[in-house]
Chains A and B, each alone.
Chain A
Amino acid sequence: SAVISQKPSRDICQRGTSLTIQCQVDSQVTMMFWYRQQPGQSLTLIATANQGSEATYESGFVIDKFPISRPNLTFSTLTVSNMSPEDSSIYLCSVALGTRSGELFFGEGSRLTVL
């Protein structure tokens, strides 16, 4: 199994600022995933963070807006840059043990409100 510590759990931010979310896993994993869940919506994959290489971003998400770091096999950060009220969402990190078809583990989520 895997235990994921994600922080901050929630924050209220001002328009135009940036916030970095941290995700720490208690075991080494190859891929870490970052998701966004807008109010009332389902989860949308932002990017896949691979250790030692650039993150792979999904359509509609760009590195300038959501820069990701993955310095080692247990840690990743997602930054939400130049925030606007439309960025108010829950952001979650996730890992899958083995392949993507393996068991899933999620962080507790970071609920961001942008004023």
Chain B
Amino acid sequence: KNEVEQSPQNLTAQEGEFITINCSYSVGISALHWLQQHPGGGIVSLFMLSSGKKKHGRLIATINIQEKHSSLHITASHPRDSAVYICAIISNFGNEKLTFGTGTRLTIIP
């Protein structure tokens, strides 16, 4: 079992829909990152969380440390939101190595 599990693996939605991507992990963490990977391969950091909730524009990220779960929400989705969204954790044990989820491929249809 991977330390980081994301769901769904693929998600297709109509423009304007509310999107939720989930990330569950199995170890104690010091931080969790949400990343966005564009079709060309470049990656942009969206959020870094250690507790609670963060909002940036139409994006909202939440984390529940007790349940070892985080969600990324996109409101009023737009075709330009189409990308792969990756959850990555830094465990609070050992060498603080980043562990990545396998990503959620989001496609927003106009």
A interface vs B, CB < 8 Å?
Answer: 9, 33, 37, 41-45, 90, 92, 94, 99-111
A107 adjacent to B42 (CB under 8 Å): yes
Report B85 CB to chain A, min CB distance, Å.
12
Question: B67 to nearest A CB, angstroms?
Answer: 20
Q: Shortest Cβ distance from A59 into chain B, in angstroms? A: 11
User: Interface size (B, Cβ < 8 Å)?
Assistant: 22
Output the residue of A42, A44, A109 with the most chain B CB within 10 A: A42
List, in ascending order, chain B residues with CB within 8 A of A101's CB. 30-31, 48, 50, 90, 96
A42→B40 contact, CB < 8 A? no
As a 0/1 sequence over residues 70 to 110 of chain B, the CB contacts with chain A under 8 angstroms (1 = contact) are 00000000000000001010100000111011110000000
Contact in complex: B42, A108 (CB < 8 Å): yes
Please determine whether B45 and A103 come into contact, CB atoms closer than 8 angstroms: yes
Neighbouring B residues of A102 by C-beta, 8 Å: 48
Answer yes or no: B35 CB below 8 A from chain A CBs: yes
A92 touches B40 (CB 8 A): no
16 more A-B contacts (CB under 8 A) besides A104-B45, A107-B42? A9-B40, A42-B103, A43-B88, A99-B96, A100-B97, A101-B50, A101-B96, A103-B45, A104-B33, A104-B48, A104-B98, A106-B35, A106-B44, A109-B40, A109-B43, A111-B40
Partner of B102, one of A41, A90, A92, A104: A41
**Does B52 lie at the interface of the complex (its beta carbon under 8 Å from any beta carbon of A)?**
no
Given known A42-B86, A42-B101, A42-B102, contact A103–B44 (CB-CB < 8 A): no
